[in-house]
Every structure is written in structure tokens, then in C-alpha cells.
Chains A and B, each alone.
Chain A
């Protein structure tokens, strides 16, 4: 069974600092990995999707890397803003199923 772990569980940084969020998974036979954002009381919004053949994906201030062989992904958020405060979840897809980590809750202090 795929196990997805996210460390740290919570993170608090001052505005402007770069954020580094980590995700690890136990079975490297995945099709893709996604990073999601979840705001309190809201559903999940997809941020980035990295195919298994890719090493990284970028969108604006967000950059996600994937090392499938070691079972790791990292989400970088440059120059953090208070609006980046949310819970960030990673999910890996094997077969047709998404397996999620528990998330990292980020607070960006103004």
C-alpha cells in the first residue's frame, strides 16, 4: 500500500521568505504526483502536476521537483505572501487512485 508522508506538519514564516515543503512516498511506481492547496472550509485546488517522466514543473512562484527513484518531491514557493497561508497536500497517482499525504499547514506572517 502506498504511504505518503509530508514533513513538516506545520510551518510559520515571515513574509518574503522562501518556503520548502517536502513529500515522500514509499512505492516509486507512480504515474504522476500532484501538489494541492486547501483553504479552511474549502475543497482542494490543484497547483502543479508532475508526470513520472518529468523532473520538475513550474508555475509562477511555485516550483515542484520529483525524484521518483528516491520517492521524494519538494514544493518551493518563492517570496512568500500572507495569501499563501493554507494547507498544502501532495498526492501520488498509481493505477487510478490518488494517495494523499496529511498536508503541511503554512502560515505566512505579515
Chain B
């Protein structure tokens, strides 16, 4: 069974440019998460989806970040405009139902460098 797929794996852009990341969760997983991981730190949750509904976006900087999960499957995370401090790894994870005891499965991440 395929795991969580993310693309691109690496992205280099200049500041003030827009950028988008794509995630395809494990088939049948209703819950999808986007995390931000700064160098030397653990991941921090940005947004959690249950199917197509964003049920927790309290940590998403909404002035420049947006996300969508059309049809409750694939998801896209966008930054516009990007700032130098956005350089980090963006991880996507999915779980079967989002229940408290559910294990989250992580993708390989997209490494973003903003110049």
C-alpha cells in the first residue's frame, strides 16, 4: 500500500513569491494534517482536516497561508507571499479517522528554501 505522497520534495523560491505544496494521503484516510518543521525542532501542527472540513486551523497564519482539501482527498497548502522565515520542512500526515487513539502516518515532506 502506498504511503503519504508529497510533492515537490524540494522547492527554492525568492521571497515574496507564491509557493504551493501538494499532499495525497493514504487511501481511505479521512483525516489529513499539515505540519511545519523548523530545523532542529519537532513538527508543529498548522491545520487538520476531517474529510473536506478544516476542523483545526488555529495555528495557520492566515494572512499568508491557505489550505484546501477539495473532495476530501488530496490537499494543497499555499504560501503567498513567502518570507525568509518560511524556510522549513512542510510535512503532511494522515490517519484513518482522526480518533484520539489513531496513529498518524507521515509523508517525506517538502523542504522549502526562501532566498
Contact = CB atoms under 8 A, between A and B. Distances in A.
Secondary structure at chain A's binding surface: helix, strand, loop or mixed? Answer: strand
B42 A51 contact: no
Interface in B65-107: 91, 93, 98, 100-101, 103-107
B4 A98 contact: no
Interface of B: 4, 40-45, 48, 55-56, 91, 93, 98, 100-101, 103-109, 111
Given A31-B101, A43-B4, A49-B103, A102 B41 contact: yes
Contact of B100 (A31, A42, A45): A31
Contacts of B109: 41-43
A43 B37 CA distance: 11
Contact of B42 (A43, A45, A91): A91
B103 A46 contact: yes
Contacts, number: 54
A96 B42 contact: no
A44 B42 CA distance: 10
Interface of A: 4, 31-32, 34, 36, 41-46, 49, 51, 89, 91, 93, 95-103
A99 to B, nearest CB: 8
B110 to A, nearest CB: 10
A96 B56 contact: yes
B23 to A, nearest CB: 11
A43 B100 contact: no
A101 B41 CA distance: 7
B98 A43 contact: no
Given A44-B91, A102-B40, A97 B56 contact: yes
